[in-house]
Amino acid sequence: MSDISQNTHYRGRFAPSPSGQLHFGSLAAAVGSFLDARSRGGSWLLRMEDVDRPRCQSGAADDILRTLAAFGFEWDGPVLYQNTRDAAYAQALAQLHATGRVFPCACSRRELADSQLMRLAGDGAKVYPGTCRAGLPQGKTARAWRLRVDDAVIAFEDGVQGRIEQNLASEAGDFVLLRADGLFAYQLAVVVDDAEQGITHVVRGADLLDSTPRQILLQRLLALPVPAYVHLPVAVDARGEKLSKRSRAVPLNVEQPQPALRAALNFLGQAAPMELERVSLAELWRWAREHWNPARIPRQRSLSAPE
Ligand code: GLU
């Protein structure tokens, strides 16, 4: 396995899904990935993860870009939109097909949900029970295409969460690459695009920690470099639920970005001193870049968002 985090110019990224406006949780992920890159003289790229078209909200992508700009984020190069990338995903799928690991699956969501055989994966999703692994059942037609995983552990060293190990067969299961609605799955798109953008460091929310071993498997099978991973705590509400763009998470105030930026720094263990209370946005960013210390990021997978 190649590790491109060594001896390569740092290239980080922020990859929001335009399913709604930016909220505190996504701001914290943006701040963490941005500061980790900039404090090390690295590049920071943006990618609009609009591969899951039914979940995208019209106008959300532009709104996210405007909010990021109002908060003082500066990104390198053009924004990569996943809705322009189908040919690259199709090529990666063909490459995976050639390994003999891709198989058609006829199971509907309903059939899978009703299956008594299914165990729960680490992220709460059900582990595919292997129904179509050895061939489509008689008379059934392909709906989705899945990747056959091994009964083997994939391990990596996360920059915040430490060593992570996952047995793909028992904890994730054979996963979807091409969905029943004809759209490419997030797991495939993210791997192809991290490679396309030359990403060396992925800094994102810990809600994606359980997806990382699947992504590492895809990188290995596609002979792509494996970036370094850092999973930040995810902001949760009073009920312990992840803030999400589609839930009622409060949108960010673009007229007055400082308080939310300070709160995001605080959330990431990088509280700015009181005397910086009234400084300009640019000065706050300068302080944050100079004082960014990943060792202070809380190790929890989730943390309460500020009130
Ligand atoms: N698009 C994903 C999200 O908004 C992030 C994916 C990633 O960072 O790999 O949650």
Mean pLDDT by groups of 10 residues along the chain of 307 residues: 67 96 95 98 98 95 98 98 98 97 93 73 77 92 96 97 96 95 98 98 97 98 98 91 71 92 96 91 97 97 90
If one residue of 26, 36, 47, 190 were mutated to test the ligand 1 pocket, choosing by the most ligand atoms within 8 A of its CB, it would be 190
Q: Is the CB of 208 under 6 A from ligand 1?
A: yes
Taking the centre of ligand 1 as the mean of its atom positions, its distance from the CA of residue 22, in whole angstroms, is 12
CA distances from 236 to 49, 55, 60, 163, 297 (A): 22, 21, 22, 23, 16
Q: Kindly report the CATH number that applies to the domain delimited by 100-178.
A: 3.90.800.10
If one residue of 57, 82, 184, 204 were mutated to test the ligand 1 pocket, choosing by the most ligand atoms within 8 A of its CB, it would be 204
Taking the centre of ligand 1 as the mean of its atom positions, its distance from the CA of residue 103, in whole angstroms, is 26
Residue closest via CA to ligand 1's atom 6 equals: 15
Task: Provide the pLDDT for residue 1.
Answer: 46
Distance CA 115, CA 12 (A): 40
In ligand 1, the atom with minimum distance to the C-alpha of 49 is 1
Biggest CA pair distance of the chain = 71
Task: Provide the pLDDT for residue 194.
Answer: 98
For residues 105 and 146, is the Cβ–Cβ distance under 8 A? yes
Task: Provide the pLDDT for residue 107.
Answer: 93
- pTM check: above 0.75: yes
DSSP, collapsed to helix, strand or coil, labels residue 302 as strand
Task: Provide the pLDDT for residue 118.
Answer: 66
Topology classification of domain 8-86+191-304:
Rossmann fold (3.40.50)
CA distances from 265 to 73, 180, 288, 295 (A): 14, 40, 8, 13
Distance CA 208, CA 204 (A): 7
Give start-end residues of each CATH 3.90.800.10 domain in the chain: 100-178
Laid out side by side, the sheet with 153-158 consists of: 162-167, 153-158, 228-232, 201-205
Side chain identity, residue 289: R
Taking the centre of ligand 1 as the mean of its atom positions, its distance from the CA of residue 118, in whole angstroms, is 26
In ligand 1, the atom with minimum distance to the C-alpha of 14 is 8
Count how many Cα atoms sit within 13 Å of the Cα of residue 242 in the half-sphere of its side chain: 17
Task: Provide the pLDDT for residue 126.
Answer: 76
- Residue 70 per-residue DSSP state: H
Q: Is the CB of 15 under 6 A from ligand 1?
A: yes
CB atoms within 10 A of CB 110: 8
For residues 146 and 180, is the Cβ–Cβ distance under 8 A? no
Q: Rounded to the nearest 10 degrees, what angle do helices 212-221 and 186-196 cross at?
A: 60
Give start-end residues of each CATH 3.40.50.620 domain in the chain: 8-86+191-304
**Rg of the chain (C-alpha set):** 20
In ligand 1, the atom with minimum distance to the C-alpha of 194 is 9
Q: Is the CB of 17 under 6 A from ligand 1?
A: yes
Distance CA 52, CA 54 (A): 6
In ligand 1, the atom with minimum distance to the C-alpha of 19 is 4
